[in-house]
Amino acid sequence: MTDYVLVHGAWGGGWAFDRLSADLRAAGHRVVVADLTGLGARKDAFHPGITLATHVDDVVAQIEAAGFDRFVLAGHSYGGMVVTGVATRLGARIDALVYIDAFLPGDGQSLWDLTGAFEHDHYIGSQKFSPGAVAPLPGLEAPILTPHPLLTLLEAVRFTGEEAKVARRVYIFANAWEPTPFRQFRDRVSVEAGWDYHEAAASHDVMGDQPEQTLAILLGFA
């Protein structure tokens, strides 16, 4: 039995992992689908002071509450920022760190640093209507999505050395979504030692478009 921790992206919720988590449990594994403050099932807890550290704290607390010692940690999209933050605290306990078409920050980088003018204009423009909150990007609007706390996009990840203790690192790149801010990470991991790289014929919703491939990659660590 392997323990898995799944972290969703911006504006989303744990529902993004409904099928994947069900399939992992059906295969006999334990799964924590993280609930992030102010998003998804916890959207009523939204306030403009939520930071990236808040979400890292959320995940660490849920790992400890589940009693997981060693685990596979996967993050989708913005979730890549969160799982990197978790790795700076619990890296020695992570059997595999999986980025599912996700942001991959270096030391001292925020999501703002990893995005461009299109995203920045939207983040700033959103403040006219709801200070401290960012609406879904144009083209991603859907009733199930909720505003995302701005400060999580501005706070940098700070490495501690613990993240270097992660046993394995995996990147899954969605090659059927354009324009994508994630090509920079594909280019990085394709030349950087120590990465297990996969491509999915999928939109940004890799788990929905390629559920069997995503499941197979994660079960490869069981």
Domain of 88: which CATH number? 3.40.50.1820
Pairing of strands 148-149, 133-134: antiparallel
pLDDT average, residue stretch 182-203:
95
Q: What is the pLDDT of residues 59-106, one digit of tens each?
A: 999 999 999 999 999 999 999 999 999 999 999 999 999 999 999 999
Tell me if 197 sits within 8 A of 83, measured CB to CB. no
Give me the pLDDT at residue 190, please: 87
Q: Active site residue: 21, 77, 110, 126, which one? A: 77
Give me the pLDDT at residue 140, please: 81
Average pLDDT, the chain: 96
pTM surpassing 0.95?
A: yes
Tell me if 60 sits within 8 A of 35, measured CB to CB. no
* 77 carries an active-site annotation: yes
pLDDT average, residue stretch 165-178:
96
Residues 6+ apart with CB under 8 A from 141: 135
Distance CA 122, CA 130 (A): 12
Q: What is the pLDDT of residues 96-144, one digit of tens each?
A: 999 999 999 999 999 999 999 999 999 999 999 899 999 999 888 888 9
Give me the pLDDT at residue 219, please: 97
Which domain does 33 fall in, by range?
3-219
Distance CA 112, CA 85 (A): 15
Give me the pLDDT at residue 141, please: 80
Confidence of residue 22 (pLDDT cuts 50, 70, 90): very high
Q: How many domains does the chain have?
A: 1
Give me the pLDDT at residue 142, please: 86
